[in-house]
Structure 1
Amino acid sequence: MSGFHESIDVDATPDDVWAYVIDPSHLPEWQASAVSAEAVDPGPPDVGSRVRVTRHVGSREMPMTMEYTEYDPPHAWSLQGIDGPVRGRFHGEILPIDEGRRSRVIMDLDFEGKGMGRILVPLVVRRQARKEFPVNERLLKSHLEHGPA
């Protein structure tokens, strides 16, 4: 996956990191563009489960549906956008460090544009993601290490 690649070390166990990042209700806490997020399918997530996310893209709010394409607790997860003009592809990994007392979180993100999204991705979405991705890292680290502000 090309696009954006980030890695952070956090003072939290892989299990604690997993529990936080996999819960869609936390997405707006650590992703600056996320307005809301909720599971679409009942029950615990797995490959094929969907999450509905509304994001600020430029000056608009855009709802989109993401589907898990990988779900390997507490190690890795991947999501793929399945609707809308802008479809994200995200992959996250959680690696234990310091004998499992801390974690390294690796995140990869890219986008595909459909229809009008072909224009939005290079002009708006990638620019916004370039600015937002480091902010999201700091927010994730802060929430995992200190809880909500």
Structure 2
Amino acid sequence: MTVDVLTEIVIDRPVRVVAEYVADPTHAPKWYANIESVRWRTRPPVVVGSRLDFVAHFMGRRLAYTYEITELIPYQRLVMRTAEGPFPMETSYEWSPVVGAATRMTLRNHGEPSGFAGVAAPIMAAAMRRANVKDLARLKSLLESP
């Protein structure tokens, strides 16, 4: 069963500010509650082919996985896919300007869990959606703070 979770938020900051912050994976532990650490496997900055090791806690489990950047359109879109880890997952960010100097940010997690994770996919999707809503609210708070 497929997991496909799409969340979005409007952040009262210009696209450039939001995209630069989010596209720097070292910031992820500051706004993702479940991400404990990020370590570069390749040299910064982020480019297509960059690889990063993430350690997260989700649904009571510690997860270690490697993301590879597969698409990067500066200030518009960033896509990364797991190269290693518990199940194949793609995470994408999109940024678009809205009225004034605000940014609509979209976060999508899409994957095909197998085995027990496949059976639990609906529960995982609901938990991801709740976590993503909270994480985007935290991001908004961080970026809109003076």
TM-score scaled by structure 2?
Answer: 0.87
Q: For 1:43 and 1:27, locate their aligned partners in 2 and report how far apart those are by CA, in whole Å.
A: 15
Q: Spell out the pairing of 1:1-149 with structure 2 (5 A cutoff).
A: 3-99=4-100, 101-114=101-114, 117-119=117-119, 122=121, 125-146=124-145
Residues 85 and 115, structure 1, Cα contact 8 Å, conserved in 2: no
1:128 CA drift (Å):
2.4
1:132 CA drift (Å):
0.7
One-letter code aligned to 1:107: L
TM-score scaled by structure 1?
Answer: 0.85
Q: For 2:50 and 2:8, locate their aligned partners in 1 and report how far apart those are by CA, in whole Å.
A: 25
1:2 CA drift (Å):
6.4
Cα 1:113–1:139 change in 2 (3 A) is same
Q: For 1:110 and 1:63, locate their aligned partners in 2 and report how far apart those are by CA, in whole Å.
A: 17
Equivalent residue of 1:82, what SS? strand
Equivalent residue of 2:141, what SS? helix
Equivalent residue of 1:70, what SS? strand
After superposing the two structures, state which structure 1 stretch, 132-141 or 35-44, moved more: 35-44
One-letter code aligned to 1:95: S
1:38 CA drift (Å):
2.5
Residues 85 and 116, structure 1, Cα contact 8 Å, conserved in 2: no
Q: Over aligned residue pairs, what C-alpha RMSD do you find?
A: 2.1
1:86 CA drift (Å):
2.3
1:131 CA drift (Å):
2.0
Residues 85 and 114, structure 1, Cα contact 8 Å, conserved in 2: no
Equivalent residue of 1:9, what SS? strand
